[in-house]
Structure 1
Amino acid sequence: MGTQLTVRDQASLFALMVVARPVTNRELRDVAGLEITAEVRNRANQDVALITSKKRRTVNTHQLTPEGRAWCETALVAGRPDGAKFPVGVLYAVLDSVGQHLAHSETKFGDFFRPDLESWIRASYTELTVRRPPGSWVKLSALRPWLEDVSTEVVDAELDRLIELPDVQLIPETNRKTLTEDDREAAVEIGGEERHLLKISAA
């Protein structure tokens, strides 16, 4: 690339690589201690778009483009940049070790860096309830759009698994007259019962 990416730019790309899904700055701060600023996004997208952003309610989500993933995949085996010192040198040493492991084990980049669906659901729930009391109920019709590119069947199976956890509840909407067509389509059937509302209790 012609544009010189800063250490922060590169770290931002690697953070998105690890999460491997759309993520808000709020979650990125929790996961990696950084956020995707306008300056980072502009530099990363100057020659070719490496980061894509999408508006979700009042926040943006960020993720790597295919070109961004390719940049990260190349960086994994590129070795330490000339003159790179601590802490960048250490970062690239770790990345090189990961890249060599993937190459030797013939593991595909996308199979190693892939999203954790439980974390994705929990993070989406947090964003939907950030300005509401802890433990608020969230409609599945509001949750599903955050889980883009994940099939309904896969999300349903994960929700079915999650309700076995003590902090997760899924219940039907008792007032069926309030259900919209989106609510009905988003419902998950568990135990022969359609469920529309999700609650994740605070830790």
Structure 2
Amino acid sequence: MAEKKLTSSQMAALLVLMAEAREISNPELGQLYSFTLTGKDRNKLNDLKLVDSRKGRQGAFFHVLSEDGWAYAREVFSKGMEASERPAGKVLEATLRAIVANLRRYMDRTDQNVNDVFAREEDLAPASPTTAAPEAAASETPAPESAAPVPNGTAEPSGTGTPAVLADDIETRIRKAYAQLAEKPNAWVSLTQLRPVLGDTPREDVDSTLRRMISMPDVRIAPFENRKALSQEDHDAAVIIGGQAKHLVLIGA
């Protein structure tokens, strides 16, 4: 982490954004925590690609922890926080280092990481989601659908000479597979069950489509809350979004 060493104030800002786990504006930071992320601190975190900032319509800056920022936070909580070159204050730095060091004990004890600890309520799936039985899913696995026609030759051909599957077609396949597996409306379905139903659709195409779909209002993709209950197959089937492994999908909320 030497090349990304932060001052106490920059580390404090990064940890606040980690704890909020959402995009937050400078006015709201000022209201909640009596500080704003501006000037050199904002520029440093932006330059290191740890924080993404944008200017809103009213001129206020909005900030969110980037994927690199989450990775950096996980490394901090894994290895501990180094002393800053220019601490903003002994009490502030002592507080930060104490929180990082002692919260790590809880994460080690419960086999969790910072994404699990600070995930917002709406981003978490229930501990015991309702999913279809694996045997039923396997017996009803349909034959892979043929790829949709390629309009105007816009899709690149794959290395085998087969036209690349369009993103919209993969989304349709995912939605059909979910509908087949879900036992009732708004039920959680595991990616362990979903992936086999998608047939030979390339995994990288499925993952990129899931990352796009998570921003849709009727789609939720979440981690399994009880990590110790996950099998190796569950870990292997997970999709990484925002630096976090997600194991369950819900469509139609």
* AA of the residue aligned to 1:8: S
Say whether residues 1:40 and 2:41 are aligned partners: yes
Q: Is the 8 A contact 1:76 1:92 kept in 2?
A: no
* AA of the residue aligned to 1:103: D
CA–CA distance in 2 between the matches of 1:89 and 1:25?
Answer: 25
CA drift at 1:82 = 4.5
Say whether residues 1:53 and 2:58 are aligned partners: no
CA drift at 1:12 = 0.4
| TM-score, structure 2 as length reference | 0.43
* Runs of at least 4 residues off by over 6 Å: none
Matches within 5 A, 1:6-21: 6-21=7-22
Q: Is the 8 A contact 2:73 2:114 kept in 1?
A: no
Which residue pairs with 1:163 in the alignment?
none
Say whether residues 1:107 and 2:112 are aligned partners: yes
Q: Where do 5+ consecutive residues of structure 2 fail to align? A: 123-213, 221-253
CA drift at 1:49 = 0.6
* AA of the residue aligned to 1:10: M
Q: Where do 5+ consecutive residues of structure 1 fail to align? A: 118-148, 156-203
Matches within 5 A, 1:66-105: 66-82=67-83, 85-105=90-110
SS in 1 for 2:91: coil
CA–CA distance in 2 between the matches of 1:107 and 1:74?
Answer: 13
Q: Is the 8 A contact 2:46 2:53 kept in 1?
A: no
Q: Is the 8 A contact 2:77 2:104 kept in 1?
A: yes
SS in 1 for 2:120: coil
Is 108-117 or 28-37 further displaced after alignment? 108-117
Q: Is the 8 A contact 1:54 1:60 kept in 2?
A: yes
Count of aligned pairs between the two proteins: 127
Taking only aligned residues, the RMSD between alpha carbons, in angstroms, comes to 3.1
Which residue pairs with 2:240 in the alignment?
none
